[in-house]
Structure 1
Amino acid sequence: MDRQIDYRHLESLIALLTVARLGRYTAAATVLGVNHSTISRRIDALQKAMGGHLLTRSPNGWELTDLGRRAMTSAEAIEQAVASIGTEEDLDALSGHVRVAAPDAFSAHLAAPALAKLQQRHPQLVFEIVSETTRARQTRTGMDLEIVIGEPSVRKAASTKLLDYELRLYATAEYVKAHGTPKQLSELSNHSLNYYIDTALTVDKLDEATSALPPMRRAISSTSIAVQYAATMNHAGIGLLPVFLSKHYANMVPVLHDEFSYHSEYWLVGREEALRNKAVQETVRALNDAAANGDWFIPPFSPY
């Protein structure tokens, strides 16, 4: 017969809940405002109280054991009970930390504005957006949600497609005046490309994007799409850039649009435990709504 949870261990249950959602003690410590050793002590105390291991280490970070899942049910019930305490106005409020990893263009032009609107409605919500372009890895931990390019292959996580997007070639009028306008794909071999750093690129879909192009020397390569725009807008070469941004900037001249485009998708990935969190659920809803409505934030001038 399982031991009963001692509800004096409320802080330990919240620590377990947070580690289960984020997969890392350090990430849980950051969210809860304590240090790593405090999280460890609280989990150890809870394991002693329940008479067994609650977490096990895996390639995905820390995951719940069967006993841990039973404790998680109690932790979620406590979280919901605490959230239900307060005025009628408080009942509709959300609070807590939500951590999101996403490519920088998505972060700046869709995620940040969408989550800013959500945060205005729920001032107690805190968002952390980690801007990076990488695949959904089995070792990904420390995030509630992750936005990736291309359909992910993950386990013990849910994924859904947010939207399609397209990459095309662009240059400036100054660049094509100085170097000529390529009339066919083969002529691109005489031009420089601004794109991701080959050796730093871990996303298969972005790697595939250049496979239909002839070999091109690199002008300025970067892991940041903002840097790629800055290089292209300053006439360093031809950029392979997202249409949803480039079409709004008058100084972006289309190059070979009748002959080349590359299509991909943004996908949303979340750990199963994290997706049971109401704040995370509302974050997913806000991102889905923004994607469905095409709510891209386009500054009236180029930020690059």
Structure 2
Amino acid sequence: MADRKRTEVDWQDVRVFLALGRYRSLSAAARALQVNHATIARRIQSLEHSMGEKLVERRPDGYLLTAGGERALEAATGMEAAAQLLARADRADDEDVRGVVRINAPPALAHAFLTPQLALVTSAHPGLDIDLATDLHSVSLERRKADIAVRIGKPNDGDLIAQPVGKLAFGFYGSSARCDAVEQGAPPVFVSFDEQNSDMPEGVWLSQQFPRARVAFRAENQLLQATAARAGAGIALLPHYIGRQVPGLRPCALTPLPPAREVFLLIRGQDRHARPVRTVMRHLVDAFKENRALFSA
């Protein structure tokens, strides 16, 4: 009986479980999928019944995956990637796309989002190679240091084509202990950028809004800041796409918050007809569109 049930997993149940596993919040998962809370609960219960084990536990600060849930989430993520690959391959041109496309992006965005998305490109197009480099500060496309640049905030470059792909919203994230303390009235202790990168917009905004607050830990990028916040060093101002994906972090009810920033893809005007660049651009535009709920408030 148990074996028969394990063969009857519903993909719609899996989609709901993926959303809950990513956001660890019933409300956030419901917003991302545009369904109500009851549907989320029913789908999770259905998947647990099909798999024959408990996948999630409800806690005061959100949902926690069981050991079985963590294994299921890894498998479900693979299923989603395969489904996306099939959908994109279906739209691909019959002719092979070949060449190397060099991409430059901020480190945190590259590690936490772009790398797995770009890996799908090379799977869909075996003749296409990706060279991904990271830099907190902008590189020059006009000097041909990259073919595609991913930028946060409106660019002011010269003869470049800039395509907006979505909004990047922020929130305060920390361990349960740190967030509980702040929500009960304790002064916040922050994690922010190191001195070399103190001119980053989020670091400048934080110092302006909380000029007297202690910054207990400084790191060069937001992925490192998330790791420090998870370990209890302080509260980090993070893009939602990081805060929602790092286990052990939860949103903190702390305000104000900075305005959302727009994400752009940049290419040189003369490259707009180059098939390798156009192919990667299309994949990235699709990826941001499919995952917009991960980035938005």
Q: 1:253 maps to what in 2?
A: 250
Moved more, 219-228 or 280-289: 219-228
Is contact 2:148-2:265 (8 Å) kept?
Answer: yes
Q: 1:238 maps to what in 2?
A: 235
Q: How does 1:121-136 map to 2 (within 5 A)?
A: 121-135=124-138
Q: CA RMSD in A?
A: 3.0
**1:277–1:193 CA distance, 2 compared to 1 (3 A):** same
Is contact 2:107-2:135 (8 Å) kept?
Answer: yes
Would you say 1:195 and 2:179 are equivalent positions? no
CA radius of gyration, larger in: 1
Letter in 2 for 1:208: W
User: CA offset at residue 176 of structure 1?
Assistant: 4.6
Q: 1:152 maps to what in 2?
A: 155
User: CA–CA distance in 2 between the matches of 1:101 and 1:235?
Assistant: 31
Q: Which runs of 5+ in 1 are unaligned?
A: 1-88, 298-304
Q: Secondary structure at the match of 1:236?
A: coil
Letter in 2 for 1:285: R
User: CA offset at residue 166 of structure 1?
Assistant: 1.2
Of 214, 224, 233, the residue aligned with 2:221 is 224
- Taking only the aligned residue pairs, the percentage that are identical comes to 19
Q: How does 1:1-304 map to 2 (within 5 A)?
A: 92-135=95-138, 141-176=144-179, 180-182=181-183, 188=187, 191-204=188-201, 207-208=204-205, 210-249=207-246, 251-257=248-254, 259-294=256-291
Deviations 1:109-138, CA, capped at 9 Å, x for gaps = 332222211211211111011122224668
Deviations 1:169-188, CA, capped at 9 Å, x for gaps = 111123356xx32567xx64
**1:140–1:209 CA distance, 2 compared to 1 (3 A):** farther
Q: Secondary structure at the match of 1:143?
A: coil
Is contact 1:97-1:128 (8 Å) kept?
Answer: yes
Q: Secondary structure at the match of 1:240?
A: strand
Is contact 1:136-1:152 (8 Å) kept?
Answer: no
Aligned length: 204
Letter in 1 for 2:211: P
User: CA–CA distance in 1 between the matches of 2:250 and 2:97?
Assistant: 45
Q: Which runs of 5+ in 2 are unaligned?
A: 1-91
**1:269–1:225 CA distance, 2 compared to 1 (3 A):** same
